[in-house]
Structure 1
């Protein structure tokens, strides 16, 4: 087994001049600044006072799950001779929030729409999804079920 290290740099950008002197006196915004990569400006969930025009932690987790599934699917498809022409996903995450404010995801459903080249084996293309949960780094790291409901189109 090999070990990989990942790092990120989070920089709070929400100090409006008074720091956290009061609960409403600061913005829930920050930048993800990984060396050598574009900065991603983020904010809290709009339900919690965040900027709806910026990515929030929930968006990022949902996107990471979807991207990991997609990358493994493309890998398995290439190995199996299934030619993918287009892939897009609109994942759905379901969360719950307790009366005290603590929240968590309880499930995520990936809903990829995959366009395959003519002559592709649709049964094989559909079966590839079941293999991904055993290898996707992100899906294997979360404490809630991740299901998939793919839609394949052959052109």
Structure 2
């Protein structure tokens, strides 16, 4: 039987310059994420859509969430398999598309982690772990686009 998990956050728009959305260019695309007991995350829209390029946008957060979920499951499954990981860094790439009317979507993502493993580790086994993660990761199981993995390994 499945166990239900609920997640919550408060997303609050902060871009009202005094006249709300009276005009398209009259408001900022800024907002924040507040989760009880955690630091506030300041966000904005994608800069191509009028957002502040210095702030995280929804697309940044989605690709980062996908990468982080994958990383956490990778570390767990590596530990279970006896593969010692000492460092994990990912530079994920989300592939999106937009239609002329402005609608957009992710069409694919590529996770590109560089993983430091103990010298002598079974690199084939270390690499095979990536293929198991989409069976268990909340985020990977929830996205409607393909996710590829291009991992590289450093033996230390």
User: Is the shorter-chain TM-score for this pair beyond 0.5, marking a shared fold?
Assistant: yes
TMscore range, shorter length: over 0.9
Bigger helix fraction = 1
C-alpha distance in 2, partners of 1:74/1:32?
A: 27
Q: For 1:28-60, what per-residue CA distance to the aligned partner results, in whole angstroms no more than 9, with x for missing partners?
A: 000101111000000000010100000000000
Aligned length: 155
2:135 corresponding residue in structure 1 = 134
SS of the aligned residue for 2:128 comes to helix
1:123 Cα deviation after fit:
1.5
C-alpha distance in 2, partners of 1:35/1:50?
A: 26
2:91 corresponding residue in structure 1 = 90
1:6 Cα deviation after fit:
0.7
Task: Provide the aligned C-alpha RMSD in A.
Answer: 0.7
C-alpha distance in 2, partners of 1:126/1:146?
A: 15
C-alpha distance in 1, partners of 2:22/2:147?
A: 40
Confirm or deny that 1:9 pairs with 2:13: no
Structure 1 residues 3-152: aligned runs within 5 Å: 3-152=4-153
SS of the aligned residue for 2:96 comes to strand
Unaligned runs of 5+ in 2: none
Unaligned runs of 5+ in 1: none
C-alpha distance in 2, partners of 1:23/1:96?
A: 23
Runs of 4+ in 1 over 4 A off after TM superposition: none
1:142 Cα deviation after fit:
0.8
